[in-house]
Amino acid sequence: MATLKVGLVSPEREIWSGEATQVVAQTVEGQLGILPGHAPVLGVLLDGSVVKVTPADGSPEVVAMVGSGFFSVAFDEVSVLAEQAVLGRDVDVDAAQGELAEAQARGLGDEEAPVLERRARAKLRAAELEA
């Protein structure tokens, strides 16, 4: 079976790497689903989105919140380079809910509020607590 070599990294550490059968990421131009044999592509990750990886070994789907960054595909290698990233299983749900409440309380006059809200919601989606 053909697979993808996937690396999900942030400046602090490697978040996840391994063989996968599929990767789904949200870029500023839309959602991309990548399967083995996909044409080369380079995209800008949508800040405050979720990346999903289907491991080739049949283990549970890997879901991660990502901040801004880049997504590249070449020769069945997928690189997700995110300024911020956290696996869904590592999300501190109470902290993410607090971040969401804080972002919403900031109101429309605060330029950072929408970004903070998107990131908090993405953390909750990665933890599978929000649709």
Q: Please tell me the pTM assigned to this model.
A: 0.89
> Which residues on adjacent β-strands are paired with residue 79?
7, 72
Parts of the chain with a pLDDT under 70: 108, 130-131
69 close to 43: Cβ distance less than 8 angstroms: no
- pLDDT at 109 (0 to 100): 77
- pLDDT at 130 (0 to 100): 57
69 close to 83: Cβ distance less than 8 angstroms: yes
- pLDDT at 128 (0 to 100): 84
Measured from the Cβ of residue 9, the count of other Cβ atoms closer than 10 Å reads: 16
CA atoms within 13 A on the CB side of 62: 25
- pLDDT at 107 (0 to 100): 73
